[in-house]
């Protein structure tokens, strides 16, 4: 594998013992690596049932017929090929933080892509800000990782975040249900939890990775401030004291808890990631232990 | 306490001003900070905006305190604040150390210079700490060796490096310089002179009586010194190789019988014994002969205090005469001319073209061409057609010759002295100097260059011209101009460095003489009441020219002083006091500077986050902030503060 500018080789070698998993059973063409609870063509025996008119004679258990003179049909579990999509936020707010949320997102997305391509999964990386940008498909084994790493490394943070538009475009463009990993700070001018929930209602399994810089949760300032929105440029003059800080933290905590609640209610998963955390801790810790075991 | 000559009140005013500016900056520049956030959705709480804005509140009092402390500490360091400064009043002193020529003297084997150094060091060590000393080493010129220095170690090191010079002490200039140095000081102290008190001036300078703060530490000795004051060598006229050495011997001590020797190439050539009375100068002529070039030493065979002024050395050039090759078909015409001047040694060749002799120094071509191109100074008389000078025959009809007064070749010639019947007109090329004209056309030309050449369009030894008195003079001037490098100077002398009077040259006062040092560089000359002078700060051989006259002076002798200075007894320091032993006021400026820098660095580390384009982070107190900063510096993996 070619050296990647955003993740090093030793780190990638550690990722090879991880696997992307999902909880829902999705229909799809055969050829996947994860057994679904749906019946269909597959290798894993599931059950017998009475033969009915029109069933495939190739699935009849002829040994049971010889002994009991009744037709029983063998039922197998499906192993569908499930599409994995990764929505990555490249709006202007992702440029903030130290390290920036964008840089952190690039490394995290690259690591998840590597986990997927090593297991011969197909991952579609879709950047978004005010709309969906051109996507990139990563598939075909570890030797195909370098292109997606280069694609992720080339992303720049700019523009406003318009989740409503993005979600509508996504629902229209990607009709087949599958695993949807969203890496974003989820900052939007409007309240868009319902829109994100609509994707779960459409059948996608949501895996929300909520990125936040240290200053997003704990603003390091106090006193009189001119606060400028990184995406809109809007400025507010205010006085930030301990009382205001407390109210800010309450509002922020309520914000991410709403997302967490929505994801879990819809059989999805949610993890809050502070960009001050080492990426390894996130991949082998927070992501592995979150409800629903995303990785 | 001093800062740019400010008083304490002014310094406090400056500190208050700086503090006011800093506080104002904290009110103004740091009052409102512009920060960029990911989203404004959590900043829309109306209670944040309803909060009364503290218009006059300092947001970062700890930062302000650190900056103020740092700036005031740095200001204090610059001001060189000292405690107990009122019990000490630091003074500025000028220490004039005599480094004149006679400080080379030894008494009982000990150089007077070493005694003067010890006395100077003792004086410096007797000064209270905090005083400043300007060390001036003085002979003919006062030279500061250490500026007003508070570190006496530096002054002592400068004293240790003092060496006696070659000139006598100009006391007036040294004391005037010291007074000028003290004029600008706030706390002027003493002017202290350490030396032998032998001075170059003939009269004691008045400034010695005008300085109330003058102190003298004498370096006394029982003087016994015989010295060569001057040596002059003159070639004897009409005696090639004969020299006369005029030796002037002075005596600063009891009357003495002084043996005088003249040596050429270390071999004695003549000797005599002089009786030199006390405080007198006696001159004696000594004759000797030598045709070769070499060193002539004049030596006094005495054992006295200053050894270097007992030997004078001068280099004499070869005086065996100049070899002149005369290419002429009529050598008899030239015989009487050269016979009259033994300095010119002729050899005659009658061939045409004329072969040139290897040892000839000057060539005379009398209407003939040389066999090979001449590369030595050449006189062309009536140059033929193929010579470097173009000419055309002319009937002059006893026309008077008009001489160019600016040319050294025509020096002393009068127009009325020469009338020509026939000859040739010459055509002057670019760079040629016309020496003589007849009827508006050149008949004598000088061509400077290497080698120099002169052409005459006439033969002065023909017909009645040879009886004119101007003819030998014309030859002499021409040969001197052609062979200036081989001619013998009219006088060689050995003197002492310092201010040198240029005498015995041309006597034309309006024309400044040219003085060249050993490297050939011109030395500035100035006109004084007694004539032209130049200053030789160091010994060496100097060449002086004025017109066509030349003198060589070898200034290798130490300059003898003229008089002895007896200061007012009140000015004499009876003894050097012992060291004061007082402790100097404690110097706080290094610690203040360090503290100030630490405060500013701490402020920059704790409160400035300019690298991220953001405002300062809130800090409750400096110790906690410093701990946080250190933790941040050494933290390798930050943890989430709320640990999801």
Give the pLDDT of residue B356: 87
Among A96, A185, A236, beta carbon nearest to B43: A236
CB contact under 8 A, A230 and B38: yes
From A38-42, A50-54, A158-162, B585-589, the region with the lowest mean pLDDT: A38-42
**What does the alpha-carbon distance between residue A73 and residue B465 come to, in Å, rounded to a whole number?**
159
Picking from A187, A240, A253, the nearest residue to B48 by CB comes out as A240
Going through B317-412 in order, the beta strands assigned E by DSSP cover: 322-327, 344-349, 362-366, 378-381, 391-400, 402-403
Q: Do the chains contact at B37 and A227, CB–CB below 8 Å? A: yes
What is the spatial distance between Cα B328 and Cα B349, in angstroms, rounded to a whole number? Answer: 6
Q: Which of A238, A251, A255 to mutate to test the interface with B (most CBs of B within 10 A)?
A: A238
- Which residues partner with A49 through β-bridges? A73
Give alpha helix (H) positions in B42-170.
Answer: 46-50, 61-79, 112-126, 152-160
How far is residue B457's CA from residue A136's CA, in Å, rounded to a whole number? 107
How high is the pLDDT of residue B630? Answer: 57
Q: Name the residue among A96, A213, A226 with its Cβ closest to that of B34.
A: A226
Position A151 confidence tier, pLDDT thresholds 50, 70, 90? very high
Candidates B36, B59, B609; nearest CB to A223: B59
Kindly tell me if the per-residue pLDDT of A213 is higher than 90.
yes
The string of DSSP codes covering A252-282 is HHHHHHHHHHHHHHTT-EEEEEETTS-HHHI
CA distances from A288 to A101, A259, B580 (A): 21, 19, 82
Q: Measure B65 CA to nearest chain A CA, in Å.
A: 18
Q: Which of A223, A250, A274, A281 to mutate to test the interface with B (most CBs of B within 10 A)?
A: A223
Residue of B nearest to A222 (CA): B618
Residues of B whose CB is below 8 A from A213? 38
pLDDT of residue B606: 80
Contact assignment for A218 to B641 by CB distance below 8 Å? yes
pLDDT at B638: 36
Instruction: Report the pLDDT value the prediction gives residue A294, as an integer from 0 to 100.
Output: 38
Is the Cβ pair B39, A187 closer than 8 Å?
yes
Q: In a mutagenesis test of the A interface, which of B29, B63, B641, B644 is the best target, namely the one with the most A β-carbons within 10 Å?
A: B644
- Mapping DSSP to helix (H, G, I), strand (E, B) and coil, where does residue B552 land? strand
- Mean pLDDT, residues A181-201: 90
Residue among B33, B34, B38 minimizing CB distance to A185: B38
The helix or strand, by DSSP H or E, that contains position A52, with its residue range, turns out to be none
Which tens digits make up the pLDDT trace of A61-71?
888 888 988 88
Closest partner residue to B45 (CB to CB) among A219, A244, A276 is A244
Tokens of B140: 């003919």
Contact B247, B506 (CB under 8 A): no
Torsion sign over Cα B198, B199, B201, B205 = negative
Taking an 8 Å cut-off on Cβ atoms, the answer to whether A188 and B39 are in contact is yes
CB contact under 8 Å between A238 and B43, yes or no, is yes
Residue B59: its chain A contacts at CB < 8 A?
Answer: 222-224
Q: How far apart are CA B615 and CA B641, in angstroms?
A: 21
* Mean pLDDT on A244-248: 89
* Rounded distance between C-alpha atoms, residue A41 and residue A39, angstroms: 7
Tell me the C-alpha distance between B221 and B641, whole Å: 89
Q: How high does pLDDT run on average in chain A?
A: 84
Cα R_g (chain B), whole angstroms: 41
- The answer to whether B51 contacts A238, with C-beta atoms less than 8 Å apart, is yes
B49 vs A215, A226, A238: nearest CB: A238
Q: Is A244–B51 a contact, with Cβ atoms under 8 angstroms apart? A: yes
Say yes or no to pLDDT of A17 above 80: no
Query: Do A98 and B612 make contact, defined as CB atoms within 8 angstroms?
Result: yes
Contact B639 A244 (CB under 8 A): no
Q: How far is CA A22 from CA A17, A34, A118, A294, B525, in A?
A: 16, 9, 17, 7, 106
Contacts of A241 in chain B (CB under 8 A): 51
Using an 8 Å CB-CB cutoff, list chain A residues near B36: 96, 227-230
Asked if B31's CB is within 8 angstroms of A251's CB, the reply is: no
Rounded-to-10 torsion of CA A152, A156, A157, A161: -70
- The pLDDT score that the predictor gives to residue A295 is 40
Across the interface, which of A187, A214, A221 has its CB nearest the CB of B41?
A187
d(CA A89, CA A96): 13
d(Cα B48, Cα B352) in Å, to the nearest integer?
121
User: Which of B31, B34, B52 faces A228 most closely, judged by CB atoms?
Assistant: B34
- Strands B110-111 and A84-89, sheet pairing: unpaired
For residue A244, the surrounding DSSP H or E stretch is: helix A242-265
A274 and B642: CB-CB below 8 Å?
Answer: yes
pLDDT tens for each residue of A269-285:
899 999 998 888 888 88
Query: What is the C-alpha separation between A217 and B39, in angstroms, rounded?
Result: 12
Work out the burial of residue A218: count CB atoms within 10 Å of its CB; fewer than 13 is exposed, 13-18 middle, 19 or more buried: middle
CA B186 to chain centroid: 32
Residue of A91, A227, A260 to mutate for B, most B C-beta atoms under 10 A: A227
pTM higher than the cut 0.90: no
User: Measured between CA atoms, how close is B632 to chain A, in angstroms?
Assistant: 12
**Residues from chain A contacting residue B45 (CB–CB below 8 Å):** 244, 247-248, 251
Catalogue the E-assigned strands of B427-480: 433-438, 441-447, 453-456
Is A272 in contact with B43 (Cβ distance < 8 A)? no
Q: Do B638 and A272 touch (CB under 8 A)?
A: no
Give me the total of CB pairs closer than 8 Å, taking one residue from chain A and one from chain B. Answer: 133
Smallest CA–CA distance from A271 into chain B, residue: B644
Selecting from A189, A228, A252 the residue whose C-beta is nearest the C-beta of B42 gives A252
CB contact under 8 A, B48 and A217: no
B633 vs chain A: nearest CA distance in angstroms?
14
* φ, ψ for residue B106, nearest 5 deg: -120, 140
- Nearest Cα of chain B lies from the Cα of A70 at a distance, in angstroms, of 58
User: B39 and A93 in contact by Cβ < 8 A?
Assistant: yes
Distance between CA atoms of residues B2 and B287, nearest Å: 70
Q: How far is A271 from chain B (nearest CA, A)?
A: 8
Q: Cβ neighbours of residue B125 under 8 Å, at least 6 residues apart?
A: B152, B156, B579
Cβ contact, residue pair B37, A230, below 8 Å: yes
Burial class of residue B289 (count of CB atoms within 10 Å of its CB; 0-12, 13-18, 19+): middle
Chain A residues whose beta carbon lies within 8 Å of the beta carbon of residue B615? 221, 225
* DSSP conformational letter for B585: P
Regions of chain B where pLDDT drops below 70: 1-7, 28-32, 46-47, 49-59, 82-89, 237-238, 240, 318-320, 415-419, 463-467, 484-490, 503-511, 547-549, 573-575, 577-586, 608-644
Q: B493 near B233, Cβ under 8 Å?
A: yes
CB contact (8 A) between residue A227 and residue B53: no
Cα-based angle B320, B325, B327 (whole degrees, multiple of 5): 160
How many residues are present in chain A? 295
Query: What's the order of all strands across the beta sheet hosting B531-536?
Result: B498-502, B531-536, B525-528
The answer to whether the Cα torsion of A22, A24, A29, A31 is positive or negative is positive
Instruction: At B440, give phi and psi (nearest 5°).
Output: 85, 0
Q: Which residue of A lies nearest to B636 if distances are taken between CA atoms?
A: A278
pLDDT (tens digit per residue) in B338-376: 887 777 888 998 888 889 888 888 899 998 889 888 888
Question: To which H or E segment does residue A28 belong?
Answer: none
Q: Do B33 and A223 touch (CB under 8 A)?
A: yes
Residue of B nearest to A93 (CA): B38
Q: Test A244 with B614 for CB contact under 8 angstroms.
A: no
pLDDT above 90 (res A212): yes
Q: Label residue B561 exposed, middle or buried (CB < 10 Å: 0-12, 13-18, 19+).
A: buried
Residue where the block lists tokens 């005469």? B321
Task: Decide if A248 and B35 are in contact by the 8 Å CB cutoff.
Answer: no
Please give the torsion angle defined by the CA atoms of residues A185, A190, A191 and A192, in that order, rounded to the nearest 10 degrees.
-70
Question: Looking at beta carbons, which residues of chain B come within 8 Å of A231?
Answer: 38-39
């Amino acid at each position: 594998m070619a050296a990647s500018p955003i993740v090093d080789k030793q780190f990638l070698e550690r990722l090879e013992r991880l696997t992307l998993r999902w909880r829902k059973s999705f229909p799809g063409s055969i050829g996947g690596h994860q057994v679904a609870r749906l019946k269909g063509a597959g290798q894993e025996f599931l059950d017998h049932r009475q033969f009915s008119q029109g069933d495939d004679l190739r699935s009849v258990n002829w040994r049971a017929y010889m002994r009991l003179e009744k037709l029983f049909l063998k039922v197998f579990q499906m192993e569908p090929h499930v599409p994995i999509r990764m929505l990555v936020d490249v709006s202007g707010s992702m440029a903030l933080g130290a390290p920036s949320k964008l840089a952190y997102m690039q490394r995290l997305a690259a690591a998840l892509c590597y986990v997927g391509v090593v297991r011969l999964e197909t991952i579609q990386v879709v950047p978004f800000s005010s709309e969906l940008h051109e996507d990139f498909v990563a598939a075909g084994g570890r030797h195909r990782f370098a292109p997606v790493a280069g694609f992720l490394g080339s992303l720049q943070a700019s523009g406003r975040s318009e989740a409503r538009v993005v979600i509508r475009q996504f629902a229209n463009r990607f009709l087949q249900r599958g695993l949807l990993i969203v890496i974003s700070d989820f900052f939007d001018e409007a309240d868009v939890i319902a829109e994100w929930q609509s994707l779960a209602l459409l059948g996608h399994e949501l895996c929300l990775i909520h990125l936040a810089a240290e200053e997003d949760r704990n603003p390091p300032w106090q006193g009189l401030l001119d606060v400028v929105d990184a995406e809109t440029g809007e400025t507010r003059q205010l006085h930030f004291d301990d009382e205001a800080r407390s109210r800010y933290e309450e509002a922020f905590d309520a914000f991410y808890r709403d997302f967490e609640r929505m994801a879990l209610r819809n059989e999805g998963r949610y993890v809050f990631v502070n960009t001050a955390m080492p990426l390894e801790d996130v991949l082998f810790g927070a992501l592995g232990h979150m409800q629903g075991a995303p990785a | 306490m001093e800062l740019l000559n400010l008083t304490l009140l002014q310094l406090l005013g400056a500190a208050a001003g700086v503090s006011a500016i800093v506080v104002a900056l904290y009110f103004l520049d740091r009052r409102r900070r512009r920060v960029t956030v990911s989203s404004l959705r959590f900043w829309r709480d109306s209670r944040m905006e309803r909060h009364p804005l503290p218009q006059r509140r300092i947001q970062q009092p700890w930062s302000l305190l650190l900056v103020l402390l740092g700036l005031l500490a740095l200001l204090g360091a610059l001001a060189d604040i000292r405690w107990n400064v009122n019990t000490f009043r630091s003074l500025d002193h000028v220490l004039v150390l005599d480094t004149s020529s006679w400080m080379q003297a030894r008494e009982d084997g000990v150089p007077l210079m070493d005694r003067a150094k010890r006395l100077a060091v003792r004086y410096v060590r007797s000064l209270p700490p905090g005083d400043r000393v300007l060390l001036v080493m003085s002979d003919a010129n006062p030279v500061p060796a250490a500026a007003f220095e508070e570190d006496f170690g530096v002054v002592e090191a400068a004293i240790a490096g003092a060496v006696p010079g070659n000139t006598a002490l100009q006391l007036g200039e040294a004391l005037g310089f010291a007074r000028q140095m003290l004029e600008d000081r706030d706390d002027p102290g003493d002017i202290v002179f350490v030396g032998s008190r032998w001075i170059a001036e003939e009269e004691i300078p008045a400034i010695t009586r005008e300085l109330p703060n003058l102190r003298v530490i004498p370096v006394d000795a029982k003087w016994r010194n015989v010295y060569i004051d001057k040596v002059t060598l003159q070639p004897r006229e009409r005696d090639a190789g004969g020299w006369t050495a005029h030796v002037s011997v002075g005596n600063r001590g009891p009357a003495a019988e002084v043996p005088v020797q003249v040596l050429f190439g270390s071999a004695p050539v003549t000797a005599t014994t002089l009786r030199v009375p006390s405080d007198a100068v006696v001159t004696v002529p000594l004759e000797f002969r030598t045709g070769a070039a070499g060193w002539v030493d004049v030596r006094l065979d005495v054992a006295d205090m200053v050894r270097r002024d007992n030997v004078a050395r001068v280099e004499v050039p070869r005086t065996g005469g100049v070899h002149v090759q005369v290419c002429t078909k009529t050598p008899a015409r030239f015989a009487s001319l050269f016979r009259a001047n033994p300095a010119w040694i002729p050899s005659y060749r009658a061939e045409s073209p004329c072969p040139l002799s290897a040892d000839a120094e000057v060539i005379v071509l009398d209407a003939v061409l040389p066999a090979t191109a001449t590369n030595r100074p050449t006189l062309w008389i009536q140059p033929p057609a193929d010579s470097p000078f173009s000419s055309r025959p002319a009937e002059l009809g006893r026309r008077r010759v008009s001489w160019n007064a600016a040319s050294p070749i025509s020096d002393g010639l009068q127009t009325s002295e020469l009338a020509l019947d026939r000859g040739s007109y010459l055509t002057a090329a670019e760079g040629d100097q016309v020496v003589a004209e007849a009827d508006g056309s050149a008949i004598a030309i000088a061509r400077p260059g290497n080698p120099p050449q002169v052409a005459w369009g006439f033969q002065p030894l023909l017909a009645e011209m040879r009886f004119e008195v101007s003819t030998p003079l014309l030859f002499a001037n021409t040969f001197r101009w052609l062979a200036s490098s081989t001619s013998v100077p009219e006088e060689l002398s050995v003197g002492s460095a310092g201010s040198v009077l240029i005498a015995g040259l041309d006597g034309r006062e309006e024309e400044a003489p040219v003085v060249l040092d050993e490297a050939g560089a011109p030395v500035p000359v100035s006109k004084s009441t007694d004539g032209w002078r130049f200053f030789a700060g160091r010994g060496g051989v100097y060449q002086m020219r004025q017109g066509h006259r030349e003198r060589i002076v070898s200034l290798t002798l130490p300059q003898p002083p003229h008089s002895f200075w007896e200061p007012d007894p009140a000015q004499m320091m009876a003894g050097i006091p012992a060291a004061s032993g007082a402790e100097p006021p404690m110097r706080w400026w290094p610690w203040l500077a360090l503290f100030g820098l630490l405060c500013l660095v701490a402020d920059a580390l704790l409160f400035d986050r300019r690298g991220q384009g953001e405002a300062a982070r809130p800090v409750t107190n400096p110790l906690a902030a410093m701990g946080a900063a250190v933790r941040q510096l050494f933290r390798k993996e930050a943890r989430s503060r709320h640990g999801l």
